[in-house]
Amino acid sequence: MKGEGAPRLADYLLVGVASAAVLSFEIILLRVFSFSQWHHFASLAVALALLGFGVAGTLLTLLGQKAVQWGDRLFISGLLLGAGGMVAASQLPRWILVRPLFALWDVGELLKLLLLDFIAFVPFLGLAVSIGQVFVRWPKATSRLYGVNLLGSGLGCLLPVILLATFYLEVALLLVPVFLLMGIAVFGLAGARAPRLGLVGLGGCLLLVLVLVAGVAPLRLSDFKQLAYLMDLPDARIVSRLAGIEADVTVVRSDSIRIGRGLSVQWPHPLPPVDAVVLEADTVIPLWRPGEAARHADYTRSTLMALPFLLRPSGPLAVLGASDWIFPPGDLDRESVLVENNGTLLKLYKERAMYPLAQLVQTDPRRYVEKTGNTFSLILLAGASMGGEAVDVDYLLTVEGLEACYSALGDDGVMVIPLHLSNPPRNAIRLLELLRTVLLRLGHENPLASMAMIRSMEDALILVFRETLTPPELEEIRDFCQQGSYDTSILPGLSVGETNRFHILEQPVYHAAAMALLSGEGSLPVEADWYSRDVPTDDRPHFWKTMRWSKLPDLLNALGRNGLIWLDWSILVSVVKFIVAAVLAGLLILLPLGRLPCRQATFGPMAIVTYFAALGMGFLSLEMVAFQRSMLFAGHPVIAAALVFFVFLAGAGWGSFSTPRSSGTAAVARVFLPIMGCVFWGWAILEWVAPPMLKISGAGCLGLVAVALGPMAYTLGRAFPWGLRQLRDSRPHIAWAWGINGFASVVAAPLAVLMAVHLGQGVVWGMGIGCYLVAGWIALKKT
């Protein structure tokens, strides 16, 4: 990278390597945060990465001409800082234990959290300075450089899939700097471009390889994680650990592990010993110890889950999603299928012969019910019992998802949804509203006639019958509840006196809510109205989002500080992230203004801010919403993320090579009109063409997503380098524009999530188009 000529092949290659390293590190760090810290903070990795790019832009603007003069030294130093930061970010949490929740009131915890986040931000800053610098050095090659940057980033989305499938998180995290340092060493030493720095890279690379060969200690967990809690139990030990793309899976054994979902209070003995399968250090799923299942048939007959098997002892059975319920041994020894999208978990089930006669299918449950041509006498939506976060996407618990389940029921079929109850009631009431909508749409005039809800102290089963309940079925349910001291909350012909008898609530809120919602009798209890009852659809597949902003004062008035527990914290964290990002972005965009040379040309400062901020917001909004929607077709969030981010980045990179060189109105039209057309094309396929195509194979669905998003990404990739070309006469403005784009992306990520949750994916897609319209309008006006 010498002189002011054109970049050489080695420069392009190293930019590609650095870009791939950034994305790989970001994705693996996201998993690391999710594994070791509070899961709400996982998306922080994305914010830190984007912030790194924004701050790099500000730094380069402030450096001005020096950024060019320092040439290769700055370029390689940035990369070395990035690699060093990656190592620090992977090792520091071993010594600093963070309790993120405590940071709300404990300054010490807040400082530790900030320190860790800062360390995690450093690698992104270092790499972003290097990548940003090449645009400043070679303004005439922006299209190609941007193309290589995005192609590298696209490949960087695929690399973690391989690493995470093969290695544990802590190893995968260290392999990224190895990969980067190798690139630096080759670049620095091969052409003698920067031999000293190349040697540093080589030394670092060899040192890391030695560390990896010697063995890396597991990640240290926040003590809020379930795995940390389990490992604190007496005699706890890890029986096995499996790396996985979807989640790191750890199996813990201790005689003190006792999982008793839906257990009857009449059960007189200790619970059977089970192993705990811990997904991503937090989600606990019980696993029979070898040879134990058959010995504990009586126990599993004493949980709520025994009822569906009593009602439908034979006939095809589908269990959708793994859960923390233990099924009665032998009850899956019939024509049964267990559908779960975590392949590692299914592998464990196979190894332990957990359900020896059941067919284990690795796919997304929603895709399975859409695709299967079979009908079932019993469908258990077992995964619902695991709950979720407000921002989680769940395509099974939507109107369309439950309709698909219902359609897969045979004539005598029963659909069963287990749910963890909270006090005050949240998701259960929303589920009743959702089921009412589904049943009315399917032509049931009286939904109450084909529904039942029974509950233990903390859990409930909601049963939806294909036909109206028969008298023997009603009697069987009543007997089961009486024997196990379960409460009936919904049952045709149920009187108030028959409900709320064993697990007594202040008032029979579920029964009253069901009567009000399902048959229009009586009024909805006050506490049943505190949380959202909006019916989730494929456009807003956020069943677990329950908070209503308008009801917050009522809730807090009624419950005081205890009401805080029942807020949707993932949304509140997103709001905080959005506000912090917006303030930081505003300050850091304004900071270099005084250092910028006066610019009277076509693109003034205001136009630069608006244009590049609109592009950052637009790109991220479309990317985020495409990711959410693609989960429906890809079958797993990780696959969806890898595919969508690869298509977006690689497509945009490819598009940037064909950026128009001219600046006139015709060029603006050539850049922005295809964007409008292709964004509409993408939405049309994802919204109207793809849903009926869910029946086709998994590869077919992935192909359809690529066809929907590829052309759009190609066209989106041309607007940014075209904009940079308009600034080629002023290098500081190029760096500034690069930073603005980064900052806008930081702000757009939480904003897109918040808008998708509250207003739906269509609105976010519209916002993306709007941003590109604004950018196009600015471009038209200024040229």
The contact set with other proteins (CB under 8 A) reads: 223-224, 226, 229, 231-234, 236, 256, 258-261, 263, 265-271, 423, 457-458, 485, 501-506, 559, 562, 565
CB closer to other proteins, 332 vs 505: 505
Cβ-based nearer residue to other proteins, 564 or 579: 564
Closer to other proteins by Cβ: residue 70 or 267: 267
3-state SS assignment for residue 361: strand
Cβ proximity to other proteins: between 256 and 523 the closer is 256
Give the ranges where 304-380 is alpha helix by DSSP (H). 306-311, 343-351, 365-371
Q: How far is the CB of 283 from other proteins (least distance, A)?
A: 12
CA distance 375 to 438: 18
Looking at beta carbons only, is 236 or 596 nearer to other proteins? Answer: 236
Least distance from other proteins to the Cβ atom of residue 271, Å:
7
Describe the strand order of the beta sheet including 249-253 as a list of residue ranges: 237-242, 249-253, 274-279, 283-288
Cα torsion for 564, 99, 24, 204, to the nearest 10°? 160
In the numeric block, the tokens 């799923």 are attached to 285
In what side-by-side order are the strands of the sheet with 336-340? 359-362, 336-340, 317-320, 376-380, 409-420, 459-465, 451-455, 487-490
CB of 237 to other proteins, least distance (A): 11
The radius of gyration computed from the CA coordinates of the chain, to the nearest angstrom, equals 28
- What is the C-alpha separation between 302 and 325, in angstroms, rounded? 12
Nearer to other proteins, 271 or 774 (CB): 271
Chain centroid offset of residue 23 CA: 16
Residue 92 has which token pair? 């520091």
User: What residues contact residue 137 under an 8 Å CB cut-off, 6+ apart?
Assistant: 1, 4, 7, 67, 68, 71
Rounded least distance, CB 296 to other proteins, Å: 13
Least CB distance from residue 232 to other proteins, whole Å?
Answer: 5
Strand 274-279 and strand 283-288: pairing? antiparallel
* Shortest spacing between CB 215 and other proteins, in angstroms: 23
- 125 vs 278, which CB is nearer to other proteins? 278
What residues are paired with 250 via a beta bridge?
Answer: 241, 278
**Cα(326)–Cα(338) distance, integer angstroms:** 13
What 3-state class would DSSP assign to 253? strand
Q: Which is nearer to other proteins, 422 or 519 (CB)?
A: 422
- In the complex with other proteins, the residue whose CB is nearer, 232 or 479, is 232
Cis peptide before 424 (omega within 30 of 0): yes
Q: Which is nearer to other proteins, 363 or 422 (CB)?
A: 422
Contacts of 661 (CB under 8 A, 6+ apart): 667, 725
At closest approach, how far in Å is the CB of 263 from other proteins? 6
Which of 571, 561, 613 shows the shortest CA–CA distance to 589?
A: 613
Smallest separation, CB 222 to other proteins (Å): 9
CB of 260 to other proteins, least distance (A): 4
CB of 100 to other proteins, least distance (A): 12
